Amino acid sequence: MADKSKNILMNRDPYCPPEDVELRIEALSKKLFNLSSSNNNQWKAYRFQNNDEKYKVNLI
């Protein structure tokens, strides 16, 4: 069962860059930590920005 779920996680998601899952999680964790520990208001600006902007999809 564990092997099967790991295989599902390791499959390449077409919406994500082809990187290892653990590396993606680590990179995102560092990014969030850097935002939350920065002295400016980047983190607050990110958290409270308009959801339309946050999840904007460019339809070209």
Asked if residue 47 is part of any domain, the answer here is yes
Give the residue-averaged pLDDT of 8-18: 59
Query: Model confidence over 25-38: pLDDT tens digits?
Result: 888 888 877 766 66
Range of the domain at 26: 2-54
Distance from C-alpha of 38 to C-alpha of 24, rounded to nearest angstrom: 21
Q: For the chain, what percent of residues have pLDDT higher than 90?
A: 0
How far is residue 36's CA from residue 54's CA, in Å, rounded to a whole number? 17
Cβ atoms 32, 24 nearer than 8 A: no
Residue 59 in domain: no
Number of domains in the chain: 1
In a domain, 60, yes or no: no
Work out the average pLDDT over 8-15: 59
* Stronger pLDDT, 8 or 23, i.e. the higher one: 23
